[in-house]
Amino acid sequence: MAGADAVPLHIAIVMDGNRRWARERHLPAIAGHRAGVETIRRTLRHARERGVRYLTLYSFSTENWRREPAEVEGLMRLLEETILRETDTLVRDGVRLRVIGRVGELSERLQGAIARAVRATEGGRDTMTIAFNYGGRAEIVDAVRAIVRGGVAADAIDEATIAAHLYAPDIPDPDLFIRTGGELRASNFLLWQVAYAEMWATPVLWPEFSVKDLDEAIAAFGSRERRFGR
């Protein structure tokens, strides 16, 4: 058992339910995503207060390009707006921002905003990672391509080799994987990294996810015995 007072070092979250939240209120989808940004703020703050050092959030998947163009464009604008607005706060609070995914496929303007925020926050003690234009399978494909380009012999490739070529090899694997919105699937998120993560799901839609919900997830984590295949 992890221990009743155990706190995960790294929490990964699939932030599901923004569009349903908006639909229930007869609002455009982007209104749900904007409400979800407020949830990120309080979740990050409370997670750090509890002692969580790494928080990784699934924001936009490689499959999300199939959504309505207006929603996709709105999400791109929202990420840029949020980065520009929140960077100074992250610096002040000592939070390092990371963005993982196929960032090179985003607009040059958005890539520039991301790069500036990452540089500005690089001295942070704790880390918030945004998975944007991200897919777990795509990450593994990109890692394999990097290994091949590096000329590593096939017999020399092991799990450590692959792990070292993932998007953020310096970040420890998640201890706790949270999914909001009532679904029970991984949705192509951190497929390599969550191999031994504890899973916790809630029907609560992401914009309504509260600090109480986060505390419940952390308590569930502390009640479990982590076996790591043993």
* Crossing angle of helices 108-120 and 69-93, rounded to 10°: 20
Kindly report, residue by residue over 4-33, the tens digit of the pLDDT.
679 999 999 999 999 999 999 999 999 999
Please check whether residue 127 is in contact with residue 95, taking contact to mean a CB–CB distance below 8 angstroms: yes
pLDDT > 90: what percent of the chain?
95
Alpha helices in 132-210 (DSSP H): 136-149, 159-164
Give the C-alpha separation, 8 to 5, whole Å: 10
pTM of the model: 0.94
On whether the 10-177+186-201 domain is CATH 3.40.50.1980, my answer is no
Concerning whether 64 is annotated as a catalytic residue, the answer is yes
Tokens of 31: 């209104």
Element (H, E) at 114: helix 108-120
Gap between the Cα atoms of 5 and 98, Å rounded? 28
Q: What is the DSSP letter of 199?
A: E
Task: Out of 5, 16, 18, 133, pick the active-site residue.
Answer: 16
Select which of 64, 142, 173, 188 is catalytic: 64
Q: What is the pLDDT of residue 224?
A: 87
Tens digits of per-residue pLDDT, 47-84?
999 999 999 999 999 999 999 999 999 999 999 999 99
Sign of torsion over alpha carbons 177, 162, 159, 96: negative
How do the domains of the chain map onto residue ranges?
10-177+186-201
